[in-house]
Structure 1
Amino acid sequence: MSHASLRDRLLERLEPVEVWRADRRAVRSDFDLNPQAERPLAQLRPAAVLIAIVARADGASVVMTRRSDSLASHTGQIAFPGGRLDPGETAAQAALREAWEEVALDPASVEVLGLGDPYETGTGFLVTPVIGWLTSPPDLTPSPDEVAEVFETPWDFLIDPVNHRRDFYDLDEGARRWFWAVPWQDRYIWGVTAGIVRALADRLYGDEPRADAAVAEDAA
C-alpha cells in the first residue's frame, strides 16, 4: 500500500522545523476547554514530543508509550516520547533525543516532516509536537526507568475526530476540569496527549467536509 497521500498532507500542512523559536506562543492548551481555570504565573518551560508515524504495510501507525509507574508524576499515563529541552536544543533535536532515551528509537531512522501547534499544559510547559516519518517498523526497547511499555496505535483511529471525546474530572474543591480523551482498546489516551492529537487532527483535517474519509484514505 502507498502512504503518499498522508505524507503529502503532513508536508503541506505542518509548520517547517525552521520556524521553531524558543519564544513561540501557544496555539492550543489545556485551558481551551477550561477558560476559567487559573493559569501558572511562571514562564512556560519548553518541551517537545515526537509523533512518530510508521508507514506499515497494513496501515500507518503512531508510536506511543505508557509511562513507568515509578515516575514522580503522570505515572502510567499514555504519552508520546518526549520531555524538556536541554539548553541550546531545538524542539526537533529534543524530541529525537528523548525518543532515543525512552524507547531506543534511532534518530537516523526518522525523517522529521514538520511541527504541530505549540501546546500549553496546565503544569506550565509549552510542548512542541514534532512529527516524524518512519518508512519501516522500528526495533524499540523501552527504558525501564521511564517507560513501562511501548506500542503503536493505528493512525486512522487516533486522528479521526469521531473517536475524540470530552471527558472530565471533579477537583476536591468542586471545580470541574474538562479534557480530550481518545480511548483505544484497553488504553485510555487523555489529557495533554489527547489534546495534542486533537490539535493535529484540526490542523490536518479541519477543513475537510468528510474528515473520516480523508483520514481513511491517508492511513491506507
Structure 2
Amino acid sequence: MQPDFGAAMSLAIIAVSILYIGGIRSTYLFRIFLVSLPLIILLIVNFPYRFKRVTAFIDPWKDPYGNGYQLIQSFTAFGNGGLTGVGLGESMQKLYFLPESHTDFIFSIIGEEFGLIGSLFVLSLFIWLIIKGWKIAINTKNPFGYYLSMGITIMIGFQSLINFCVTTGLMPTKGLPLPFISYGGSSLLINMISIGILINIANSQHVSKSSNPTSNVGYGVFFKRQHERFNKKVFKKRRKILR
C-alpha cells in the first residue's frame, strides 16, 4: 500500500457525507473534524513533498521549474484554449509539456483543445449526472438503495470536483482522475459499474409498486418526515418529564 493521503482523505469525506445524510448530528461530525484537524496538519507538515504541494498551490511561480511546474503548465493549457480552443488533437501541452496530461490533468487538455465552451460543456455533463443520481436516491423506496445511490453520486461528484479544482488551481495538486474521461482501465471500470448500479436502482423504482408508505414520496422524503416525527415525540416526552 502506498501512502496515498489524498485518496484516504477523499474516502473519509465521502464517509462523513453518508453519515450526515444518515441523520447523525452535526455536532458529532464537527467534533470529529476538530479532533482530526491537528492530525491532518501534522501529516502535511511532517512530509516535505506534501508541504511543497501546498506551497506550490499558494504561489506556483516561486518554483516554476520545480513544484509549481505542473500547475503553471495547466494554466498555460487553459490560456492557449481561450474561448473556443485550438481544435481537437491540436494541443501542444500534451506533448510532454504538461505532466500527467492524459490522466490527472486531462481537463486542462480539454480546456486547451475545446476552450472555455468545451470545458463548461463537460462541467455541465457532470452536474447533470449528479442531479440525476440525486433524484434516483430521493425516489428510492428502500434504505439500502437510498444510501447506495447517494454514496455513488457523492463519490463521482466529489472526485470530479477535486479534479476540476486541482487543474484550475483552486486546490493543491492531488492525483485523482476525472471520472469516465481520464486514462485508466480500473477507474473506468469502477465508474461504469457504479453507473450500472444507479440504473438498476432507477429501474427498480418503476417495477416495484407496493402499499409501502415510501412508495409515493421516496425514501429520502420519507426518512426526513420520520425523523421530524421522532424529534417531536422526544420533545413531548421531555416536556412531560420536566412537568
Do the two structures share a fold, i.e. TM-score over 0.5?
A: no
Larger RCO: 1 or 2 (CA < 8 Å, sep 6+): 1
TM superposition score category, shorter chain reference? under 0.3
The structure where helix makes up a greater share of residues is 2
Instruction: Give the number of the structure whose alpha-carbon radius of gyration is greater.
Output: 2
TM-score under structure 1 length normalisation: 0.26
The structure where strand makes up a greater share of residues is 1
